[in-house]
């Protein structure tokens, strides 16, 4: 097999570019072994120094063997350590940073405003970098042809699910959103072939959402998930996985950046459907607008 053929057959190589290597490491973090996670944390926290480190240096910093570092490089789609370091060097031209983590107690309101704004803007840019057009195309095709569309989400993802319901309802799609576990399960059981269930979970480990998708899939529906982690429990259920870049720590549930990333993906999909079905979308936008017109002063 030639190198080109190997690249095409590798599951991750096609998705990693010169500007989103760190994003993919973050996305794959839970799927690494404990030793590989040690390497990942060093790379994410000390990127500036890693590009000048040998494979032996990085292994010593992480407290692992050299073979673990090489296995880590392979797992994220690179053939060797030097190719990986080159990608990191190119990444530093436009580094991925969580500016929320840099907000300090002594920061003025003006500085905090700029840092939080930068984080939210970064969430959109990073999510766009993770887009896989073929997957988005599949989603657009499925949703515009779907008999019924369900959005499942709990916690703050439930807010996104409700927003998605309003957005897609306005362009004439048969859509609903459920945020209570029993309602999710019952609604999922009513779906069938030709229907679509979309689960929203930043962590990809939200049990209620995953269980609802399982019920929907058993009923014959196509399942889509929006998550930050490429290899998380929800992706094992979903037929299509769409990645969002903004992540949440254990004590940071409900971060606005994570919600913005979800909304950005849904906005791209709904806008595409609208542009491809202009007459239908305009017809329903006018009807839905008139339906609530008398409820405004």
Query: pLDDT grade, residue 5 (50/70/90)?
Result: very low
Residue range 147-169: mean pLDDT, rounded: 95
Q: Considering the chain, what is the average pLDDT of its residues?
A: 85
Residues of the chain with CATH 3.40.50.10490: 120-295
Examine the pLDDT at 180 and tell me if it is beyond 60: yes
Q: What is the mean pLDDT of residues 250-273?
A: 84
CB-based burial, 91-118: b 16+ in 10 Å, e otherwise: beeeebebbbeeeeeeeeeeeeeebeee
Q: Is the pLDDT of residue 226 over 50?
A: yes
What pLDDT was estimated at residue 103? 67
Domain 21-79 has CATH 1.10.10.10: yes
Return the pLDDT at 173.
96
Question: Over 90: is that where the pLDDT of 188 sits?
Answer: yes
Which pLDDT score is estimated for 254?
59
Give pLDDT, residue 266: 97
Q: Which of 4-13, 108-117, 207-216, 259-268 shows the lowest mean pLDDT across its residues?
A: 4-13
d(CA 135, CA 9): 17
Residues 94-133: tens digit of each pLDDT: 544 444 446 677 778 888 888 888 888 888 988 998 899 9
Out of 2-11, 44-53, 101-110, 248-257, the most confident range is 44-53
Q: Note the CATH architecture for domain 120-295.
A: 3-Layer(aba) Sandwich (3.40)
More confident residue, 113 or 2: 113
The total of other beta-carbon atoms located within 10 Å of residue 146's CB is 20
Neighbour order of strands in the sheet with 196-200:
175-178, 149-152, 196-200, 222-227, 240-243
Q: What is the per-residue pLDDT for 246?
A: 72
Structure confidence at residue 230 (pLDDT): 82
Report d(CA 198, CA 210) in Å as an integer.
10
Mean pLDDT across the stretch 244-271?
80
pLDDT of 14 above 80: no
The span from the CA of 163 to the CA of 149, in Å, is: 14
| 17 or 282, higher pLDDT | 282
Please state whether the predicted TM-score (pTM) of the whole model is above 0.85: no
pLDDT digits (tens, 9 = 90+) for 197-222: 999 999 888 999 999 999 999 999 99
Provide CATH 1.10.10.10 ranges for the chain: 21-79
Q: Is 220 exposed, middle or buried (0-12, 13-18, 19+ CB in 10 A)?
A: exposed
Query: What pLDDT is stored for residue 142 in this prediction?
Result: 97
Element (DSSP H or E) covering residue 90: helix 81-91
Residue-wise pLDDT tens digits, 53-102: 888 889 999 999 989 999 999 998 888 888 888 888 877 755 444 444 46
pLDDT at 168: 97
Average pLDDT over residues 262-269: 96
């Amino acid at each position: 097999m030639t190198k080109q053929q190997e690249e095409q057959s590798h599951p991750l190589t096609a998705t990693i570019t010169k500007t989103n290597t760190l994003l993919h490491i973050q996305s794959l973090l839970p799927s690494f072994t404990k030793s590989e996670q040690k390497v990942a944390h060093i790379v994410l926290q000390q990127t500036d120094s890693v590009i000048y480190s040998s494979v032996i240096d990085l292994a010593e910093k992480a407290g692992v063997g050299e073979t673990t570092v090489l296995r880590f490089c392979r797992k994220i789609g690179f053939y060797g350590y030097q190719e990986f370091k080159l990608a990191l060097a190119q990444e530093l031209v436009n580094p991925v940073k969580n500016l929320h983590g840099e907000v300090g107690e002594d920061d003025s309101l003006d500085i905090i405003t700029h840092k939080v704004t930068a984080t939210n803007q970064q969430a959109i840019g990073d999510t766009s970098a993770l887009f896989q057009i073929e997957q988005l195309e599949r989603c657009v095709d499925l949703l515009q042809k779907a008999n019924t569309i369900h959005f499942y989400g709990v916690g703050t993802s439930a807010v996104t699910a409700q927003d998605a319901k309003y957005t897609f309802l306005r362009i004439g799609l048969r859509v609903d959103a459920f945020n209570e576990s029993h309602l999710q399960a019952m609604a999922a059981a009513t779906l069938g072939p030709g229907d679509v269930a979309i689960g929203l979970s930043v962590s990809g480990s939200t049990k209620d959402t995953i269980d609802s998708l399982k019920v929907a899939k058993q009923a014959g529906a196509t399942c889509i998930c929006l998550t930050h982690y490429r290899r998380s429990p929800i992706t094992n259920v979903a037929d299509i996985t769409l990645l969002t870049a903004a992540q949440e720590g254990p004590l940071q549930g409900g971060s606005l950046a994570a919600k913005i990333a979800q909304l950005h993906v849904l906005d791209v999909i709904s806008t595409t459907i609208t542009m491809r079905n202009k007459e239908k979308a305009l017809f329903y936008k006018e009807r839905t607008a008139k339906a609530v017109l008398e409820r405004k002063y």
